Each structure stands twice: as C-alpha cells, then as structure tokens.
Chains A and B, each alone.
Chain A
C-alpha cells in the first residue's frame, strides 16, 4: 500500500464566505471531490416568518453583503406579485439602474481583485498591483463608480436603505444622477481595458456541457425581469420553478444543492446569462465580445472573466442610458395593498439566478419564505469542475493541485455566505 498523504489548507481564499474542498486520490486516480459549505446556518427563511412584508427587503438584504440589491429586488418583486401590484415604468427603470450599480461593483471586484490573480500567479489583487498597478487602479475606479451609483440611488452601497416594496423612500433628482455620468463613462472604458488585458491570459482549454439556466426577457438583457430559460429548453414562469427544479440537502454541506428534476446539475451566472441573451446585447457590444474571441456562447468557466467584462461594459452603458432618459417618478413608491397570497420571482444576481417565494397572510405577514441562491444552484457544477480539474492534474504537486482546484471554484464567483461558510482543501492521497 502506498503512503497516505494528507494536505489540509485552512480556508479557500478570494471567495465571499468560507467553505472546504476535499479531494480524495487513491492509486493515482481521483476518487471523489466535495465542495463543503459549512457556513454556520443563518436560518433566514425561518427568521422571515412572522415578519411584516414591508420588513423583508431590509432583512433579506443581510443574506449577502456583496449582492444585497439582488436580494432586495427578488424579494420586492415576489411580494408585490403576491399583493397583485406592479411597479410603474419609472420605478422599474430606477430599480434597473440600481441593479446596474451592483453589477459594476461586484464584477469589478471579482474580475481584478479575486479572479485575475489566478491567471497571473499572484496571491491577491494588492500584490498584483505592484506589476499591474494601472489595471488594478482602473478596476478600483470602476468599482467605485458602481458603488457611487448604488449610494445615490440606494442610500449606501452595502445594504441599501432606500429600497422598499413598491419602489423607494426617496427618488434621486435628475441632477444627482447626471453627476454620475462622467464616472460611469470612465468605468465603461475601464471595463473595456480590463477585457483587452484579460484576453491575453493563458486560459485552460476546457469546454463544459452544462445545462445553462438564466432569465430571458423579450427585449432586454435580463436583470429584474423575464422568464426562466435554459439551453435545454426550459421556459417557465417564476411560480413554476419548484416543478422543474428541486433543492437537495447533501450531508457535507450546509447549503442546499439545486438540480433540474429531470436531468441534474446546471449552471447559472454570467456564462448562462450571456449564452441565453447574446442577442439582447447591442451590436457594438457583440462586436466587442467577438474581438475578445468570444462566440455567442462561452462554455469555458475560466473565460467567465471576459464575459463579466462584457457585462460590465453593458451595465455601464445601460446605466448611462437610464440616467439620460430619467424622469423622476411622481410617487417614490406604489401604494401597498396587502392581501393573502403567494408570490414567486427571480432576478439575475451578478453570480446567477436568485429565486424567492413568499406566502403571505391577508395583513401582509410572512407565513413562509423560500430562497434559492445562485451558489446553491451552482454547487453541483462547481463540484463537476473540481472533479475534472483534479483528475487532469492528479500528478501535480499538492500546492499546485490545490491552486488549480481553488481557481476552478473561483471561476464561478461563489458567494458562500449566501449559500451559507468555511472553505478548506483537504487532499487525501492513498
């Protein structure tokens, strides 16, 4: 019997939240991989029961400090649906604008501070700044522009205070928004620069055959609205989610794994959004994608950095368009009329589809809440990636194998806090 070798690394870095990786190797072959999420369970769905519907956007936001707007948007739309209300076109536009800010902030952080160091051999974005200072500064400037947009529309960048059911507490003036335009224009150029820089990275040549799941909207690149669609023909309304997808509870994880009932694991996030909605991008952004070597579908998770750059260019331009067309809503929020009922909705968080369902009493008290975050949906796909990467590099030294496995997970920008925390890598070799 060969020597048994075990390497234990305390935590996977440069992801939001904490989790553990385990790779079991025997006889030179990978036996199994596990991505364990054992964030101390935070029990939000239980906390939300008995709360007033009006409290839900503030409470649900606290699931994630990186994408609070996604939680606020999915929750607000779902509850408004249960109440039979619809936001006005002006409020709809302002919500889309707020969401653009979150995309810019989240994508800029991930592309340059979390993802790029894997391709260039740095431990972090700060060390990378010694060599690639210009790009790091541009990414931070873009991130700041996104945060500034969230601050003006949402009140603050982390856990915005200005979102409420039916709309906002106070709507920004035209002058407040117009003042953001120069920074957004620069952020757009920064995103193009990041794209052209990242094109030169050495991307492993892999293609994944996942089923890709994202929203699809009749006219827009989807953020807040659409139907749930997939590359295998899913085309459903939000309230049909549970008939097509199910969450399974796996022993090694405090997150629930989501699967398509008929087929198993799938992928949500930038690659899925892009593949299902390439035709919704303006022609010049499609051309930019082609220039970066991207087709209308990208199935290489390493290249997701390019797709995030394309999306960042898009949301900067979309934010500028929305600001140019901005008419302050007469009423900051649509009046609420609670009624008993159930409402489901999904929006596109930067890292993927975020589905919520609320069952409400006639006075608007939450009876039950269900939340399916993107990282829980992507967990089976991330594990499949890990298995492939570990198998291809089984003869790497442990440190190199660990880095390859970590990079495979970081490709997907997982938000482990959302799903639930604590990432270690254990390699068991027999």
Chain B
C-alpha cells in the first residue's frame, strides 16, 4: 500500500508548531517511515507537488497572496488540519484586527509603502474547509502524534474539547485560583497542554483558546473578586487567541 503523502506548510507564524513535529525526536524517523513527507520546506528541499493525503497548516492568513495559496492547497488536499493558535484563531497577529493596521505598519517600518498586508489576521477555517484542528500556542506534541497515528489508522483522533480545568483536576494539581487567589483562565481554556501553567504555580493564560463550552462572564466576575482590573481582564482575553469569538466578546466587555 502506498504511504500517505504528508505536507506541512506555513503562513504567518513563528514556525513553532511545525517545529513540534521535528521535536518528536523519538518518533520522527518512525513517522517519516510511515508517511511520505512530500512537502515540508522547513525540513526538506524535496518539495513534491500535490495531491496530498494530509496537510498540516500552520499560521494565519494576513495577505491576499496567502489566501490564494491556501485555497489552492485545499484543492489538492484530502485531509486538512490546522495546527496552532495562528491557524485556528488568527493568532497573536489578530491583535491587528482591533487596531488601525496602517498605523501599526507605520510604527514598525520606516517605509510603510513597501509593506503589503491585510487589515485582519484570520484563521484557516475562515477561508477553506478544515477537517481537524490542533489548538495551542504552540500545539502539544502528544496531541500531534495522536492525530498522525489516528489518521494513519483510519480512526478519529481523540482530542478532548473540555477545559484545562479538567486536565488540572485529573493531574491532581492544587487549584491556583482557589488556593492561592491567582487569576487563571483554566476554566474556559481548551484542554491539550496538560495544565502546564498551574503546575508551575501560575494561572493559565489561555494559549489553547476557548474550550467547547465556556462561561467567560462568570470567570471574569471571579477575576474581579480576586482583584483583577477591567484592563487586566481585557488583556488576558486579548492575547494569542484574541479573535476567537468567546475571548473576543469577553475582552470587548472589559475594554
């Protein structure tokens, strides 16, 4: 049987999510044996044309050119997976969506006229059909391997959509919000990281974006009770998944 053809491509992003694949040091050569890595420019010069069985897409769409590239890629891909906060929500780049992008370009570049960029940073799903999503800034290696294994085995990947709070309880960690009064986004944040931040005595900062069902209003009230200012709450929801709907709305409510 022919090995499935894999592509890994990026748009506006930091490269961290595709690096997660190279960071699977123990599994990389096995994965490379089970699939044909047809197009993965960060790792290989051998860039084969489509069609691809599976394409992992990192990054958000911030130029017309990238939007067209993405549409072409969808046409030659059987299963398209967006990986990471940029691809699933627009990422940190989406902070431009709430500002005057022209002014931002002028603040960074001496010659804004050389720069060509869209006013918004949008997720992959805003442009094309997406089959699976891996959340996170960055994604979790374990979830990536689960996804690849499931697709190879022809089953649905097991990617829980509950909150970090559930993971934290499963890990038997002390609740930083209840025990230490540390504001935490764990109750509304999508699982996947293994509740890292509470394990390091800090509150979750929401880098996996909103969980499937969220009550951000109630959480914001609890943050206020712990002494967080309106500005603190606004900024907490306006980071790496700022354009995801539940976080956008809650940030607006405190802006």
In contact, A62 and B92 (Cβ under 8 angstroms):
yes
CB neighbours (8 Å) of A16 from chain B are 15, 19, 42
A43 within 8 A of B: yes
Q: Which 7 A-B pairs have the closest CB atoms?
A: A65-B16, A124-B44, A46-B104, A123-B46, A144-B25, A249-B110, A40-B62
In contact, A14 and B115 (Cβ under 8 angstroms):
no
Stretch at the interface among A157-165, A219-227, A233-241: A157-165
**Other CB < 8 Å A-B pairs besides A55-B239, A248-B110, 6 of them?**
A13-B42, A43-B96, A65-B13, A126-B28, A155-B199, A158-B16
- CB-CB contacts of B13-51 with A at 8 A, as 1s and 0s? 111110110110110110010000100111111110000
Q: Report the Cα distance A262→B234, complex, angstroms.
A: 45
CB neighbours (8 Å) of A66 from chain B are 14-16, 19
CB neighbours (8 Å) of A22 from chain B are none
In contact, B107 and A46 (Cβ under 8 angstroms):
yes
B168 within 8 A of A: no
CB neighbours (8 Å) of B17 from chain A are 65
B221 within 8 A of A: no
CB neighbours (8 Å) of B66 from chain A are 40
In contact, B44 and A159 (Cβ under 8 angstroms):
no
In contact, A51 and B235 (Cβ under 8 angstroms):
yes
Q: Report the Cα distance A129→B28, complex, angstroms.
A: 11
- CB-CB contacts of A394-430 with B at 8 A, as 1s and 0s? 0000000000001000000001010001000000000
B205 within 8 A of A: yes
In contact, A162 and B200 (Cβ under 8 angstroms):
yes
Q: Report the Cα distance A10→B41, complex, angstroms.
A: 10
One of B12, B20, B45 near A39 (C-beta < 8 A): B12
In contact, A421 and B10 (Cβ under 8 angstroms):
yes
In contact, B200 and A13 (Cβ under 8 angstroms):
no
In contact, B15 and A109 (Cβ under 8 angstroms):
no
CB distance from B6 to the nearest CB of A (A): 12
B149 within 8 A of A: no
Most chain B CB within a 10 A radius of its CB, from A63, A124, A254 = A124
One of A14, A109, A140 near B45 (C-beta < 8 A): A14
A282 within 8 A of B: no
CB distance from B185 to the nearest CB of A (A): 12
In contact, B95 and A14 (Cβ under 8 angstroms):
no
One of A43, A65, A129, A248 near B138 (C-beta < 8 A): A65
In contact, A55 and B43 (Cβ under 8 angstroms):
no
- CB-CB contacts of A137-153 with B at 8 A, as 1s and 0s? 10011011001000000
A393 within 8 A of B: no
CB neighbours (8 Å) of A254 from chain B are 109, 114-115
In contact, A169 and B202 (Cβ under 8 angstroms):
yes
